[in-house]
A = this chain, B = another copy of it.
């Protein structure tokens, strides 16, 4: 899981349209799926060869071409040729380390966004780059590896939900991005629940696992924020984009995306704030506890100091120490000691020191 954009020395100076896949190959064979539909007809079938998919390309129906796996350079070239796209667009698709962006080309819009997924079993997060190429009647989506994250949309298409079946590629784009952002919010929710559980323990029993958890959650949250924040700009740009490929009726949906995105950012900001407060609270608790211990121990020691001094006085070997020879001296010494100790305790108590 690459946490930040990385550049190797040999990548400097490549042409922007050079088809070069810098990521790791996460899937063996490229998987091509096509759904072609309009309000009445639906055509969904596995596709072996990209030429089959290109054949769907016409103005009457919406074609959603989903491609899992980006390492096949020839396929990319075929797509570029088949759909009359600039090679630069496909080079962007293969550059999985790019920042979420919207780019308008002559005959298509290119979108890319980070897709976050939580593996609930292992509690690990995976980041994947999702690229979308949007033309009038074709939407090509590229994922780094096989995934069923967009299955709910396929279901909605299959179940003949009106809005999606009547919509064009722009509405389909919205539906895909909506799932991506819903996943952001879902992942934030899961993290948020863990943070709130932590909150209840923090004031009472602070221990080293508390601080480790806070730091872990902070790191996790920062990781999320780094991936989510740039998407906000991208969604904002999209919601303001004027393009022949986007119908007026779709803007209300893009606005919804923007609202959801803002909500995700708001949440992450709040969690960040809470974690900072928790950290401060933890430090306060720890230092209060330490101070209490030290104060107790110091007061304990201080009470014995004059007592030990008195004992020391009567341990001296002077020839003439009158007190040593009275019969009840020893008991008087004890009494004096207890009296001094009680006096000190009263004084400390009165000054509210413990």
Contact = CB atoms under 8 A, between A and B. Distances in A.
Interface of A: 3-9, 11-17, 88, 98-99, 101, 103-105, 150-153, 155-156, 161, 163-164, 174-175, 178-179, 182-183, 185-186, 189, 192, 196, 203, 208, 211-212, 215, 218-219, 222, 226, 229-230, 252-253, 255-256, 259-260, 262-263, 266-267, 270-271, 273-274, 277, 281, 283-284, 286, 288, 290-291, 293-295, 297-302, 304-309, 311-330, 333, 351, 353
Contacts of A288: 208, 286
Nearest to A302: B297
A215 B9 contact: no
B295 A290 contact: yes
Given A4-B270, A101-B259, A311-B312, 16 more contacts: A7-B185, A9-B186, A12-B183, A99-B262, A208-B288, A230-B262, A290-B295, A293-B351, A297-B302, A301-B305, A309-B311, A311-B315, A317-B317, A317-B321, A319-B326, A320-B328
A163 B175 CA distance: 35
A262 to B, nearest CB: 6
A196 B1 CA distance: 13
A15 B333 CA distance: 83
A5 B267 contact: yes
Contact of A4 (B229, B267, B291, B320): B267
A229 B266 CA distance: 10
Contact of A320 (B196, B283, B329, B353): B329
Nearest to A187: B7
A316 B314 contact: yes
B293 A14 contact: no
A233 to B, nearest CB: 8
Given A13-B153, A192-B4, A295-B290, A318 B312 contact: no
Contacts of A267: 4-5
30 contacts: A6-B189, A6-B192, A8-B189, A11-B182, A11-B186, A12-B182, A13-B150, A13-B152, A16-B256, A17-B163, A101-B255, A226-B270, A229-B266, A286-B291, A293-B295, A293-B298, A293-B351, A293-B353, A300-B305, A301-B302, A304-B305, A304-B306, A305-B308, A308-B312, A311-B312, A315-B316, A316-B324, A320-B327, A320-B329, A322-B330
Contact of A314 (B164, B318, B325, B329): B318
Contacts of A222: 270, 273-274, 277
A93 B323 CA distance: 88
Nearest to A154: B13
Contact of A99 (B263, B297, B333): B263
Contacts of A11: 182, 186
B163 A15 contact: yes
Contact of A178 (B16, B88, B226, B328): B16
A288 B282 CA distance: 12
A226 B274 CA distance: 12
Given A313-B311, A319-B325, A179 B13 contact: yes
A290 B174 CA distance: 55
